[in-house]
């Protein structure tokens, strides 16, 4: 139960941060390009790399609570793209190039198809 609370609290903080960053950037950027989403994804991926690298190098093993709160919760709520990036790099570092490529392709293409199908269903197109 504690793990769910850690992830939930972290996720709420991450989601609020993402929303706040979107509002903040919206004050300066009004173009049609989704700059706020791009910046959140890049920042979240950078922070995930820094956190995982620091966790692996400096902190004692078995820091599950910290990982759940920050990586899964805060950064997962901020952007799931950081988790996607971590999973992809982990596969690449293991030498699993085919799996990494498949994961990237399926994550992008199948998710786009899923979103499009969801739109079609709600718009009466299917």
Annotated binding site for Na(+): 76, 79
Query: What is residue 126's three-state secondary structure?
Result: coil
CA–CA dist 46, 82 (Å, integer): 8
CA pair distance 77, 73, nearest whole angstrom = 6
On whether the CB atoms of residues 55 and 63 are closer than 8 A, the answer is yes
Point out the annotated binding site.
76, 79
């Amino acid at each position: 139960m504690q793990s769910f609370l850690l992830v939930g609290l972290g996720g709420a903080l991450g989601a609020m941060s993402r929303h706040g960053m979107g509002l903040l950037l919206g004050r300066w950027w009004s173009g049609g390009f989704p700059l706020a989403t791009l910046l959140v994804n890049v920042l979240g991926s950078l922070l995930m790399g820094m956190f995982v690298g620091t966790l692996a190098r400096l902190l004692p093993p078995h820091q599950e609570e910290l990982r759940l709160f920050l990586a899964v919760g805060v950064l997962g709520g901020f952007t799931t793209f950081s988790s996607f990036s971590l999973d992809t790099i982990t596969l690449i570092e293991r030498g699993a190039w085919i799996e990494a490529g498949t994961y990237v392709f399926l994550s992008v293409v199948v998710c786009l198809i899923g979103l499009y199908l969801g739109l079609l269903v709600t718009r009466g197109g299917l």
